[in-house]
Structure 1
Amino acid sequence: MLERFRPLRIIDPDTLERGLRLVMLEGVAAQIMVVLTGGAFLVAFALELGASPFTIGLLGALQPLTQTLQIPTIYLVERLGWRKLVVVVALALSRAFCFVLAAIPWVVPEPQRIPVFIGALLAYYGLGTVSGVAWNPWLRDLIPENRLGQYMAGRLAWITGIGALLGLAAAGGIDLYQRRFDDLLGVFSLYFAVAGVVGLFGVSVISRVPEPRAEHNPAHPIWRLIAEPLHDANFRQLLRFLASWNFAVNFAAPFFTVYMLRRLGLTMTVILSLTVLSQAINVVFFRIWGRLADRFSYKSTLVEAGPLFIVTFVLWPLTQFGQWPGFTLAALIFIYVLNGMSTAGVQLCTGNLALKLAPKGKATAYLAINALTSGVAATFAPILGGIAATFFEGEEITFVVRWRSTFAGTEGDFVPFTLRGLDFVFLLAFVLGLYSLHRLVTIKEQGEVEKGLVRPELQYQVRKAIDHVSTVDGLRDLFSFPYGRLIEVFNRRRVRRRPGQEPTPTVRH
């Protein structure tokens, strides 16, 4: 039985292609599970169980918190050398906890529901982290480097498209259920159970993917393995960037659904429809960013995608401009379109940049330390974001435009928007994101192109895509704005503060 888990010295082309198809299929199964157990559904389920804003922030920290398991898992993988065995066992146990989460409304007394919910999620995420330590370097060694960008872009496009359709259908199911029943716990319980079934199917698919044999030394001290990526100067710069990036993103992201549910009063169908819109844009732009990354480099492409994503944070407080419901919906659509465009590039490039900078055959320790560093940052970010949200809950800044006319003898006031509560959290996340973009320019990547070469091609690809759906010049010209200049602002400020040093290289466009 263990023979199916034995790593292969040589993988012939037919076996490789079959393995890549299985990786694609497993990605679809994993995405179905993630859609039904994460995002807006997870937050809504927690709210139904009685979660507070601080608890929502804590939920956002659980998965990054489990990244601390990366260290002992590195040792386990290096000792065994059989990555597939670690992945299959850990994933099977992890996804079985979906059934525990599904049973909470039925078997756990109400006062204990939130603690049990958090404990089960911790086990679910923790075992998933253990599997990821072995899965990521396995993929790194399996996929040919010259196909990495296009293959991963295609995989992400497929799973995102399927996830978008499933999310919309699931949101519709919640609304139908709500028309007949007041308590939504039943439908969330059903979704988590279905996720468990599909997740275990994905485990069976993974067990058939071929695993290349990796270099490993069971006698190698674990601390030497951990220290190796930390001694790599360029990889340290990547760790700093990804840690600051994940901190900025996770400081705000867990509260978007809460903001729409409680501040804007939107239904789950509307929220999931916006999510589907973003994911549909994802599907289109995964291929665009993938082509750009393969032609130029992951870092050069990320310089364009990152600022576009960070800009969306500062747009959230503007969604209630003038208290016009029509403007709110239009603003949210605009935010989710930008989010869909940018996250496709960010997700593709950050993940693949880490894969590329990790030496082949030694990727286990490199990618584990990367995940651990990002995880620690992402653990504290939502907790601090939750604390900030609680602190700012009673704070408010109102902007008033007053018009007084001596000719007409009248005066009037107009309130464009009011900053309160979570608005301050989003603005803080925007500032943190700007600092993260500054860290990006310190990374060196082989194949990195001269500054300013990516944007013209990106604008061409975007205009080409928009021409199929819109003839509005303003929409097309939106993408001519040099978002990447945001990085230069921080670099110039740094040079002024430290005039005695050589100027830090900047990304010019």
Structure 2
Amino acid sequence: MVAAHRRPSRRETSASQGAAPATKRVLRAPVREETRSPDRRRVTRDVVVTHSTRLRRGQLGARPYPSRAIAPASRLSARSPPAGTHVRTTQRSPVRFGTDIATVSLASVASDPSPLRTSFRASYAEGVVSEFFGACAGGAILIAWALHLGASPLAIGLIGALPFAAQVLQLPGAWLTQAFGPKIVAVSAIAASRLVWLPMIALPFVPLSAGTALHVFVAVVALAAVFGVVGNNAWTAWMGELVPSAIRGRFFSRRTVYITIAGTVASLAAGIALDALSARGFKGPSLGALAAVACLAGVVSVYLLRYQHDPHPVRPRERRDWRVLIVVMRAAPARPFLWYLLAWNGAVALSASFFSFHMLSNLRTGFAIAALHGVAVAAVRIISAPFWGRAVDRFGARPVLVLCSFGIAAVPAMWLLPTPAFLWPLALEAVLSGTLWGGHGIAAMDLTFQLSPRAERPFYLAVFATAGGLGFAVASMLAGLLASQLPTRFDLAETWTNLHVLFMLSALARLAASILTLRIQEAGARDVRAFVGIVVRGATAALLPRRVAG
């Protein structure tokens, strides 16, 4: 039912006076409105919310009483769902001031029996299953394989750099995506990247020398990285076409919640199982069993990928001029983001490959405590992800990226504090890292889509990923080389290791790279200082005790 206290719109007043509307109106997404006719029959009509002033993204204007005018449903805003997507919103109350169109649209898509709804559910499920693959074939388990096979710190640094060194294949991956379509390339490449782990199931039981087994392990990791890069490029382009821009932040934040819960459970279970079996002398067989679980999860994830909708199943065959890459690198909106990705990933790589190694080797936490640390990070990401998704949709990705980048610069510095007898700083690090990395991931993903036109999106994604991958790979290899040249231990105020030097350098490099976020421009984004003020006031109101009235 339409509320009785709605103020008449200017168009309705002007029509009653026989005058034309005096202001130009901006059309927004149509909303289905139900009323009752005099004979009590239900009447449904599609209305488009209009406004005479510029609207903030994700909000219905700056007036408490937005006007309505009946208009064709084809006149949609730039952030409405693409053509062919059926979005149904039925409301019994009027859309009031502060109503979030993105929330209404996401709820409507989720309740509509369409290919988009099915694809969203399949994408959530695929992300959950993929986390089981990652928990059994990455992270701490990857380091466990390396230590089991006798890898040195330099080798561990190189292994950590492989997935990022493979980013140079983003450009061939973009060509494959453009030539064959994102869905078929994503499904094929991701399947190969996960099933290539099949030899690792039998590796602990095959009588090979330590050096040969380590080479096989490195080859598997390298092949998985190569196929993963090609698949990730195609998957990102696919999601950019599939998910409407108006609800993209909410979609990825919700997906982040689901996959983080799954990753928490899977990582904790894998760490506990590996600790328990390793204590009984079954470390090799337990690693092989985890590889089997990873391959099984990979098969299920490929099935769920094939179940998702392709918005453009028939594509015209186009010959792309490779000079478009030069155009991408020279594009004024994309260039600051490109330099940021290069510097930021290099700064992160100085320490990222060594956190798990530091916990297992220097802090002697064991796999269960290392997994518990991951659980804490994941729990914080689950709590903070909805907030960051709403913030990106409402204020823009740029202010979120700036705030999170400067905050993440403090994360490596916190790793200077823990010792084997003093581990509680890891809890504070988990809270800070989980909160800020969750926002950083959502903002970076949304900004990648915002800066890449749909026609050239695979090439934009390829250039962005190549810049970040090269920065990470080079810095990770240099970090491993530096760690191997420094003394294993030396005394300062506390007993430090060679990895503490890397943590300190990474903190300084991240702080310097964060300054580059200030040069990134995003159309319609709010001012960074205003956004930081809103976040500080909201956090203060949430943390400080409220006064009791009376």
Answer yes or no: same fold by TM over 0.5: yes
1:59 maps to which residue?
Answer: 159
Structure-2 change in CA distance of 1:265 and 1:173 (3 Å): same
Amino acid in the other structure paired with 1:315: M
Q: Deviations over 1:44-91 (max 9, x none)?
A: 1210111110111011111011112112222222222x2211122222
3-state SS of 2:227 partner: helix
Q: Deviations over 1:276-313 (max 9, x none)?
A: 01110010111121122112111101221112211011
**Are residue 366 (structure 1) and residue 460 (structure 2) matched?**
yes
Amino acid in the other structure paired with 1:295: R
Q: Aligned match of 1:380 in 474, 495, 499? A: 474
Q: Deviations over 1:140-181 (max 9, x none)?
A: 0110101011110110011001111221122121222134x2
Q: Aligned match of 1:167 in 242, 249, 267? A: 267
| More off after superposition, 90-99 vs 248-257 | 90-99
Asked whether the 8 Å contact 2:489–2:495 carries over to 1, the reply is no
Please say which structure displays the higher CA radius of gyration: 2
Q: Percent identity?
A: 27
**Are residue 450 (structure 1) and residue 527 (structure 2) matched?**
yes
Q: Aligned match of 1:437 in 514, 518, 522? A: 514
Structure-2 change in CA distance of 1:10 and 1:108 (3 Å): farther
Asked whether the 8 Å contact 1:237–1:442 carries over to 2, the reply is yes
Alignment of 1:82-481 (within 5 A): 82-107=181-206, 109-110=208-209, 111-179=211-279, 181-213=280-312, 218-320=317-419, 325=421, 328-394=422-488, 396-399=490-493, 417-462=494-539
Give the C-alpha shift of residue 219 in structure 1: 4.5
Asked whether the 8 Å contact 2:131–2:266 carries over to 1, the reply is no
| TM-score normalised over the length of structure 2 | 0.76
1:403 maps to which residue?
Answer: none
Amino acid in the other structure paired with 1:20: F
Asked whether the 8 Å contact 1:298–1:352 carries over to 2, the reply is yes
Asked whether the 8 Å contact 2:408–2:510 carries over to 1, the reply is no
For 1:140 and 1:282, locate their aligned partners in 2 and report how far apart those are by CA, in whole Å: 23
Give the C-alpha shift of residue 224 in structure 1: 2.1
For 1:272 and 1:466, locate their aligned partners in 2 and report how far apart those are by CA, in whole Å: 28
| More off after superposition, 221-230 vs 304-313 | 221-230
1:491 maps to which residue?
Answer: none
Structure-2 change in CA distance of 1:329 and 1:394 (3 Å): closer
| More off after superposition, 249-258 vs 387-396 | 387-396
Root-mean-square deviation (Å): 2.2
Give the C-alpha shift of residue 394 in structure 1: 4.6
Asked whether the 8 Å contact 1:63–1:126 carries over to 2, the reply is yes
**Are residue 46 (structure 1) and residue 146 (structure 2) matched?**
yes
- The number of residues matched between the two structures is 438
Structure 1 segments, 4+ long, off by >6 Å, are 214-217
Q: Deviations over 1:467-499 (max 9, x none)?
A: 7xxx79xxxxxxxxxxxxxxxxxxxxxxxxxxx
Structure of higher RCO (CA pairs closer than 8 Å, 6+ residues apart): 1
| TM-score normalised over the length of structure 1 | 0.82
3-state SS of 2:410 partner: helix
More helix by share: 1
Give the C-alpha shift of residue 438 in structure 1: 1.1
Give the C-alpha shift of residue 396 in structure 1: 2.9
3-state SS of 1:396 partner: strand
